[in-house]
A and B are shown apart, each in its own frame.
Chain A
Amino acid sequence: MSNLLDLLVAGLATGAIYALVAVGFTLLWQTSQTINFAQGEFVMLPAFLMLAVMHAGAPFWLAIILGILLSLLLLGLGFKLLLVDPMLRHGVLPLAIATMALAIGIKEAVKQFFSAEASPFPSIVPAGDVSILGRVVSLQSLGVLALAIAVVIGLTMLLNRTSIGHQMQATAQNPTVARIIGVPVERMILLTFLINAFLVALASLLITPIYLAKFSSGEVLGQAAFIAAIVGGFNQVRGAIAGGLLIGVVDNLAAAYVSTQYRAAVPMVLLIVIILFRPQGLLGRPEERTV
């Protein structure tokens, strides 16, 4: 019982990062039917971009800003213009396969141009512990959790309270009608790609200090984000958030109470059960099947 609280806090912290990645993933799916199999690599890359800037002698804060800008450019604009736009009209599957190839490409590029070894990455949250109600809790976990929650709240406000958010939702729900009533659909789709790039860059910044920067770390992250998105609901932003938190907690509890060997199996079983009995996800709404 004593370490349950620690597990919960750590689980919520990783879960909040998964949620950021999963939200970006569902946004891409909603506005442009892109299943991004490279989403995990998208999280891995910004950390290396920041490290590269730091190796050039820049201070950490500058590296963060430049890293995020580069992510927006490469993973947002570049991804959309060079890969998604030419392929979108050919259906979901070829594009999904192309993103798998992109995942290999990013991984290999990092391995080749940077390093095959894991590199340490500075944390933006100071290390140390604080005591809350007599319990010692890692400051890093709390900081990550707080930052991720702030971003998620900000994003939800953007989507639900602002005109741009409403236009984005209209684009996601019905692009044709959205276009008719005057929503600049193309610009909204580009905006979701930029938001996704921002979210993965932020997730990268938060998770890399915990797991080190390594070219192969995207695989685990990408899968966690997929599962979070599906479990929570593929077509709902709040679903992805709930799914991310749930997967983070379940993953941590499974490691402690089930077995470390089959730790990875628990989220998978959860995924299969959810898909079989509630395919729209915990918070999702059913998708009509097209004939």
Chain B
Amino acid sequence: MTINGKYWRIALGLAVIAALIIVPMNFNRYGLYILSQWAVMTIAAMGLNLTLGYAGQVSLAQGAFVGIGAYAAAIMTTQGMPLIAALGVAIVLCFAIGWILGYPALRVQHHYLAFVTLAFSTLAFLVFRNEDWLTKGIYGISGIPRPNVLGFATNRPLPFYYFCLGSLAIVSLAMWWLIRSPWGRAFVALRENPVRALSLGIDTRRYTLMAFAIGSALGGVAGALYAPLTQYIDPVPFNLSLSLDLLMMVIVGGSGFFFGPFLGAMIAVLLPEWLRFTQGYYLMLYAIAVMLLLIYSPTGILGILDRYLAERRTKAASALRAVTKSRLETAP
């Protein structure tokens, strides 16, 4: 990437951020709700992207962690505690449960792991539904307050959207730092070749558990934002299909790419809304779009971009080689 390309990228990034701040200003309530939902789902998908895309561990439980975070936030804030405390509890709780859920990953891989986490998802859903004393069961918890952030009330949709966007920014920066740290490299090593990683002295046990725990904790963060966003939660949104949706977001966006979850969540949250004019057909069209995309590019949207850039680089390199070769041949 040349210096010129780097400037372009920074300019593009700034333009997108500016657009995310300015454009929604005159959106209606529903539009802001959808955009906030996109920000929240992006955080959850980012966590899964760390577990799956970087560390290579399939998890079908991310939706359950969003649920755990959401219930932690809902129960605590309706008791009058501040959201920040609930956020802390959600993170610690999900980190701990994620760590424990990581243990099967030490024994089994791939589809087996997918099924263990799938079973966990279903169990979590049953607990949400059946433990009335804690979660109020199928009636759900209503009247979840929205927080005051730095003295600003976020009751109205626009300030709350900025709150979600700000949280997304903080999580993104933390993630950016994490995957560039030695830990991030250890995660990738785990994905690419666990045996070699072990032989190089990476404690694969600890990093596998860590990948699960951090990814799950981000699911908890997303949940703690989801509860004040909807202001009412019941068990239904946290069933298995949320976990499947999040997995789809990561793969469709491009698993293992930093910006994959952003695009994936955009497709999963916004595309069905854009297709709403087709009425009953919108989810069907969405499903077809996802299948076509995956047939065309199994590595997701960013995979297309990646392939294109790689092709261009190869072409440039081979052109350069040809030039050097012809020079060598014509040289005396």
> In the complex, are the beta carbons of B108 and A275 less than 8 A apart?
yes
> In the complex, are the beta carbons of B115 and A226 less than 8 A apart?
yes
> In the complex, are the beta carbons of B126 and A37 less than 8 A apart?
no
B317 close to A (CB within 8 Å) = no
Residue numbers in B under 8 Å from A265 (CB-CB): 122-123, 126
Q: How far is the CA of A117 from the CA of B165 in the complex (A)?
A: 40
**Known contacts A100-B244, A105-B288: does B111 contact A279 (CB below 8 Å)?**
no
> In the complex, are the beta carbons of A279 and B107 less than 8 A apart?
yes
> In the complex, are the beta carbons of A97 and B126 less than 8 A apart?
no
Tell me if A's interface is mostly helix, strand, loop or mixed.
helix
> In the complex, are the beta carbons of A272 and B119 less than 8 A apart?
yes
Residue numbers in B under 8 Å from A108 (CB-CB): 280-281, 283-284, 287
**B96: min CB distance to chain A, Å:** 18
Most A CB within 10 A of own CB, among B118, B123, B251, B287: B287
The digit string for B172-198, where 1 denotes a CB below 8 A from any CB of A, is 000000000000000000000111000
Q: How far is the CA of A265 from the CA of B299 in the complex (A)?
A: 34
> In the complex, are the beta carbons of A261 and B126 less than 8 A apart?
yes
**B288: min CB distance to chain A, Å:** 6
**A147: min CB distance to chain B, Å:** 29
B112 close to A (CB within 8 Å) = yes
A234 close to B (CB within 8 Å) = yes
Residue numbers in B under 8 Å from A91 (CB-CB): 298
**Known contacts A104-B287, A289-B109: does B294 contact A261 (CB below 8 Å)?**
no
Number of A-B contacts (CB under 8 A): 116
> In the complex, are the beta carbons of A271 and B107 less than 8 A apart?
no
B162 close to A (CB within 8 Å) = no
Q: How far is the CA of A255 from the CA of B168 in the complex (A)?
A: 43
**A273: min CB distance to chain B, Å:** 10
**Known contacts A105-B287, A272-B119: does B247 contact A100 (CB below 8 Å)?**
yes
Residue numbers in B under 8 Å from A219 (CB-CB): 240
The digit string for A247-284, where 1 denotes a CB below 8 A from any CB of B, is 00000000000000110110011011001100100000
> In the complex, are the beta carbons of B119 and A271 less than 8 A apart?
yes
> In the complex, are the beta carbons of A276 and B287 less than 8 A apart?
no
Residue numbers in B under 8 Å from A223 (CB-CB): 118, 122, 240
> In the complex, are the beta carbons of B120 and A272 less than 8 A apart?
yes
Tell me if B's interface is mostly helix, strand, loop or mixed.
helix
Q: How far is the CA of A97 from the CA of B260 in the complex (A)?
A: 15
Residue numbers in A under 8 Å from B280 (CB-CB): 108, 111-112
**A286: min CB distance to chain B, Å:** 11
Residue numbers in B under 8 Å from A94 (CB-CB): 251, 294, 298-299
A98 close to B (CB within 8 Å) = yes
> In the complex, are the beta carbons of A230 and B112 less than 8 A apart?
yes
Residues A112-162 near B (CB distance < 8 A): 112
Of A5-13, A65-73, A82-90, A185-193, the segment with at least 4 beta carbons within 8 Å of chain B is A82-90
Q: How far is the CA of A101 from the CA of B280 in the complex (A)?
A: 16
Residue numbers in A under 8 Å from B286 (CB-CB): 104
A93 close to B (CB within 8 Å) = yes
A64 close to B (CB within 8 Å) = no
**B17: min CB distance to chain A, Å:** 29
> In the complex, are the beta carbons of A262 and B119 less than 8 A apart?
no
> In the complex, are the beta carbons of A291 and B195 less than 8 A apart?
yes
A109 close to B (CB within 8 Å) = yes
Interface residues of A (CB under 8 A from B): 29, 35, 37, 83, 86-87, 90-98, 100-102, 104-105, 108-109, 111-112, 219, 223, 226-227, 230, 234, 261-262, 264-265, 268-269, 271-272, 275-276, 279, 289, 291
The 9 A-B residue pairs whose C-beta atoms are closest, nearest first, are A105-B287, A94-B298, A90-B298, A101-B290, A268-B119, A108-B284, A104-B287, A108-B283, A261-B130
